[in-house]
Amino acid sequence: MFRRVDLDGFEVEAISRNVARVSYATSLMKKGVLISTTEHLLSAFIGTGIDNAIVELDNLELPILDGSARPFVDLIYQAGIRKQRRPRTYLRIRHALEMREGDKFIAVYPADSYSVSYTINFPHPLIGKETFSVELANGNYLREIASARTFGSRQDETTLRNMGLIRGASRENCVVLTKDDVENPPLRFADEFVRHKVLDLIGDLALLGKQILGNVVADRAGHAMHAALVSRLLRDHTLWEETAVEDEHDTVSPPLQPMAEQLA
């Protein structure tokens, strides 16, 4: 739940019915109150095994920080994690759901754990077609996903700014692509671009309200299709069941060394 302390503590739940805009980021709105760019923090919550938290902020947009979820992860561990007595309840996928839109595709299939496989295909010499798969267990989120930064093209900057988007974007909080190179190297991973798409997807699927047990497969999907998958799942209760399982599925793991040391 997000709480706007600048608006008398008005609360906006991080659930599908409050999704407002899903073009270049996922935003929530309730009774005209906006919470913008939620996906990185929600992704960090799922990656650290947290499904019950109140986020207080004094503005309409969450800080972009370095463009990844890793600063949020570090702050979560600094604040501390409390294990509650009530067993965690999951959405276990019982039947496959597949969605297509042109050459875009997203699906979720039954599985005993939460895993993601994502494919992107960008017409840029440093990207092209990239695929990354990860199971959200044993600290894999922290090692493989959390540090991947958002990215954007210098060629698209003027158009997006004229639309009122990416107003806070800079070389310090995103990977800036020129026509044939990266303006602010080095990359944190050779395939950092697709890893960030996995990060976004995990954050968007947090809007289901519970962690899932299922295998998510996406191909050039993006925020809008992520949100559409959440909406379809919540509308059709025959596709899933609520279940409580033991802690072996929990994604919580000890914090890594500071990011600067990890990336050195």
Whether 46 and 202 have beta carbons less than 8 Å apart is answered as yes
| Burial tier of 160 (Cβ tally within 10 Å: 0-12, 13-18, 19+) | middle
Residues, the chain: 264
Q: To the nearest whole percent, how much of the chain has pLDDT over 90?
A: 69
Average pLDDT over residues 34-39: 92
Task: Answer yes or no: 95 catalytic.
Answer: no
* Span 51-75, average pLDDT: 94
pLDDT at 95: 98
Position 255 pLDDT exceeds 50: no
The pair of three-digit structure tokens given for residue 256, joined into one six-digit string: 């890594």
Provide the pairing of β-strand 55-57 with 2-4. Answer: parallel
CA neighbours within 13 Å on the CB side: how many for 49? 21
* pLDDT confidence tier of residue 160, bands split at 50, 70 and 90: very low
**Which is catalytic among the residues 40, 196, 223, 226?**
223
Q: What is the pLDDT of residue 139?
A: 93
Per-residue pLDDT at 248 exceeds 90? no
Please tell me the pTM assigned to this model: 0.89
CATH number at 2-263? 3.30.1700.10
The pLDDT-based confidence of 80 (bands split at 50, 70, 90) is: very high
The residue-averaged pLDDT of 32-49 equals 95
What is residue 158's predicted lDDT score, i.e. its pLDDT?
56
* C-alpha–C-alpha distance, residues 211 and 188, integer Å: 27
